[in-house]
Amino acid sequence: MPIDASRPLAVDLFAGAGGLSLGLEQAGYEVAAAVEYDPVHAAVHEFNFPQGKTFCADVSKISGAEIRKRSEIGDREIHLVAGGPPCQGISMIGRRLVDDPRNALLKEFVRIVLELKPRYFLMENVAGLMVGPHRQLLDEVVESFETSGQYDVVTPVRVLQAADYGTPQSRRRTILVGARKDVALPKYPEPTHTPRTIRGSVPKNPALPLGASVSDALGDLPDADLFEDLLHDDNVAGVAYGKTNEYAARLRGSKKDPTDFSRPRPRIEDEMTSSARTVHTKKSIDRFAGAEPGTTETVSRFLRLHPDGLCNTLRAGTATDRGAIPAGGQEPLNCRAQHPADELDPETITMFIDEPDHLGQGRPGSFAKNTLAALRISLALRSSAFSFCSRLISAAASVVSPGITPASTS
């Protein structure tokens, strides 16, 4: 499928299943190329974003010239290069290893940006990049851009919280942005919402609109326990969704979001996808049933989601010693459809049954979108008020060219 070259072009590095790409697309960008090392993740990305070129490649082994030559970009100007280098060696909720070889991929991000010469770049990573010995890695990235003579960096670098932009998940991310010397520097987006808490408490008299809750995102989903097919598959047809709210309706695609410039995607109304069930023992079910919403279960330390609160940050793989219990008495460990809903990815985006790593390594599409829009990445591109990592990346890129309207992206 050919790219739409009338939209500002973007390249997504370390693309994973496409959470950041989704935010870019929602903000009005055309993701003309994406690079992802893992072949399954790359296949998922290519399935969901067929219009651009998905490279199944090691970022350290590919050049900017090759990306241009083997995609439809050619000699066209690239507006934005964005990416989230793997963070397992840095994450504050994983094992923090300064000498983890994956940390060297931060420098590869710099190299590709300097080779592609986009107007802007955006790098997102875990909050742990700002503290301790890992801060040196961030400082080296900033120094590399500034000493190149080609780019300025927005300083001080900031950590943004997804919940401040309407996402029903607590996810703090380091966001590094910069601009080519010949264009104006962008600005970090100001919060658009008052966040809820993990425990479900709501601030009195909030100055900003209250952000979405777990129940807003999950309340209309059918009970996965009713469908035996989900024990051996990840989708089922003939389901009836519950009463929806405006937030969930936009996730499901049944209500148009006027600030969403992504391409339309087909969706079967009575089908539930990416929803493989988890099999639990009766002992586990009984133990989890005693956990109050918004608190952690005493043995596993899983969080039981509060319907009026936020989802916690999800780890890649959702191992047996980490995760979250859904709200409202559903099964102890969320079926995977609930994770993308909490992370704000529309239900028209497909994930594969055997790849829970898509989730922990993903970026909520709306968080991405809002970051990209509210950062006002170009004076020639207009920003929009989006909700945030599809809405944080789509606030740093919800920068769309003046001529783009939802109708023109169909």
The verdict on residue 321 lying in a domain is no
Predicted local distance difference test score (pLDDT) of residue 103? 65
Residue 220 falls inside a structural domain: no
Q: At what angle do helices 19-26 and 365-374 cross, to 10 degrees?
A: 40
Q: Which helix (H) or strand (E) holds 153?
A: strand 151-153
Report the greatest alpha carbon distance in the chain.
63
pTM of model > 0.75 = yes
Total domains, the chain: 1
Q: Does some domain include residue 370? A: yes
Q: Is the pLDDT of residue 226 over 70?
A: yes
- Residue with the bigger pLDDT between 314 and 179: it is 179
Answer yes or no: is pLDDT of 287 > 70: yes
Taking only the tens place, the pLDDT of each residue in 353-399 is: 444 344 444 445 555 665 554 443 332 222 222 233 455 555 555 54
Residue pair 15/4 in contact (Cβ under 8 Å)? The answer is: no
Q: 148, 178 in Cβ contact below 8 A?
A: no
- Please check the confidence at residue 219 and state whether its pLDDT lies above 90: no
* Residue 211 falls inside a structural domain: no
Percent of the chain residues past pLDDT 90, beyond the cut: 34
What domain range includes position 125? 9-194+363-409
Q: Categorize the per-residue pLDDT at 296 as very low, low, confident or very high, splitting at 50, 70 and 90.
A: confident
Check whether 340 has a pLDDT greater than 50. Answer: no
- Which segment of 87-91, 331-335, 361-365, 377-381 scores lowest on mean pLDDT? 377-381
Active site residues: 87
Phi and psi torsions of 309, nearest 5° = -110, -155
Instruction: Give the residue from 30, 16, 131, 17 showing the smallest Cα distance to 71.
Output: 30
The tokens for 279 are 């099999």
Q: Pick 279 or 364 by higher pLDDT.
A: 279
Q: Evaluate whether residue 242 is within a structural domain.
A: no
Q: From the CB of residue 194, how many other CB atoms can be counted at a distance below 10 Å?
A: 17
Predicted local confidence at residue 331, as pLDDT: 41
pLDDT of residue 342: 47
Mean pLDDT of 337-364: 47
Looking at residue 131, what is its pLDDT?
87
More confident residue, 370 or 310: 310
Residue 200 has pLDDT above 60, yes or no: yes
pLDDT at 405: 43
190: pLDDT strictly greater than 80: yes
Closest alpha carbon to 171 in 339, 17, 310:
310
> At 62, is the pLDDT very low, low, confident or very high (cuts 50, 70, 90)?
very high
CA atoms within 13 Å, Cβ hemisphere of 222: 21
In sign, the C-alpha dihedral spanning 353, 356, 357, 361 is positive
**Mean pLDDT (the chain, rounded):** 78
One-character DSSP codes across 183-234: S----PPPP-SB---TT----SS-SSPBPP-HHHHHTTS--GGG-GGGGT-S
Q: Evaluate whether residue 233 is within a structural domain.
A: no
Domain with residue 156: its CATH number is: 3.40.50.150
Give CA–CA dist 117/78, Å, rounded: 7
Residue at token pair 């919060």: 191
Would the pLDDT of 224 be above 90? no
Ramachandran angles phi, psi of 167, nearest 5°: -75, 135
Closest to 170 (Cα-Cα) out of 198, 191, 208, 202: 198
Q: Cα(8)–Cα(385) distance, rounded to whole angstroms?
A: 18
Distance CA 344, CA 20 (A): 12
66 in a domain, yes or no? yes
165 domain-assigned: yes
pLDDT band per the 50, 70, 90 thresholds, residue 348: low
Tokens of residue 243, six digits: 């009463």
Residue 155 CB contacts under 8 Å (≥ 6 apart), including other chains: 142
- Amino acid making up residue 177: V
Cα–Cα nearest to 380, from 216, 134, 242, 182: 182
- Predicted confidence (pLDDT) per residue in 15-50, tens digit: 998 888 988 888 889 999 999 999 999 999 999 899
Give the residues across from 30 on adjacent strands: 9
Q: Which of 45-49, 127-131, 252-256, 361-365 has the lowest mean pLDDT?
A: 361-365
- DSSP of 89-130, one letter per residue? TT-TTS---TT-GGGGHHHHHHHHHHHH--SEEEEEEEGGGG
The pLDDT score that the predictor gives to residue 57 is 97
Averaged pLDDT, 64-68:
99
Compute the chain's Rg from CA coordinates. Answer: 20
